[in-house]
Amino acid sequence: MRSSSKLSALAVSKMTKPGVYADGNGLYLQVAAGGSKSWLFRFMRDGKARKMGLGPVHTVTLAMARDKALECRRTLMAGSDPIDTRQAADQERRLAELKGMTFKTAAEKYIAANKAGWKNAKHSAQWTATLDTYVFPICGDLDVAAVDVGLVLKVLEPIWTAKPETASRVRGRIESVLDWATVRRHRHGQNPARWKGHLDHLLPARNKVAKVKHHAALPYADLGAFVAELRQAEGVGARALEFAILTAGRTGEVVG
């Protein structure tokens, strides 16, 4: 019969020579060439020798390692491979973590990951504002994997004709968040917010509903008289407007 409990806590702490040292019942202390120490559980499965790491000595004590080895032996007695059982548990835990992400959390993570590449803070603020106003009240607290075409339309239809520019941006932002979630494996399948070949069959094109309204403009023939009158006016505002007319400068350039 194999002896057990050959090692002691003191012996483990003093062990420095590289090698593998048996404690008994499948538990081994492994000392690496660099001096690091860890625990191994060795066993036979389907005629093949296998070994399973149980953790480093600085974290797992001898008593803890023996408890872990006991659990492994019980798993083997139940007909299962302890390595496969641990891997299955890890995968199940990861899947549970993935399934718990709401659309709002996914959107926040998408913004955090991409805002450094956006032109300015205003763009990030616009993203947050439109999602807060139009999207989160409908699907913010739902699992991101549960967002489907019905929910997307519930967000877009009330504003698609009334606010076409805003609605178009909201659609694109939903699509981006869902694409991010798909790549990060929080959902799968086609994106329900995609436009081409999908929503373009359910909603009218933006140029069909958006009424183009140009800014009021002074007729070119009246410009000379207007500038002459403007030059009679005092103040920085008048000079700035004249500068803008003469240079076609942008507002920010003129103010600067």
Please give the Cα distance from 165 to 147 (Å, whole number). Answer: 22
Q: What is the CATH number of the domain that holds 116?
A: 1.10.150.130
Q: Taking residues 228-242, report their average pLDDT.
A: 87
How many Cα neighbours within 13 Å face the side chain of 186? 24
Instruction: Provide the whole-model pTM.
Output: 0.50
Query: Is 215 contained in some domain?
Result: no
Whether the pLDDT of residue 1 is over 50: the answer is no
Q: What is the pLDDT of residue 2?
A: 43
Query: Is 3 contained in some domain?
Result: no
Whether the pLDDT of residue 99 is over 80: the answer is no
**How do residues 170-203 score in pLDDT, each as one tens digit?**
999 999 999 999 999 888 899 999 999 999 999 9
Whether the pLDDT of residue 97 is over 80: the answer is no
Task: Label residue 98 by pLDDT band (50, 70, 90).
Answer: low
Q: What is the CATH number of the domain that holds 39?
A: 3.30.160.390
Whether the pLDDT of residue 127 is over 90: the answer is yes
Q: What is the pLDDT of residue 41?
A: 97
Print the domain residue range for 142. Answer: 103-209
Share of the chain above pLDDT 70, in %: 94
Report the domain count for the chain: 3
Task: Identify the residue with better confidence: 230 or 208.
Answer: 230
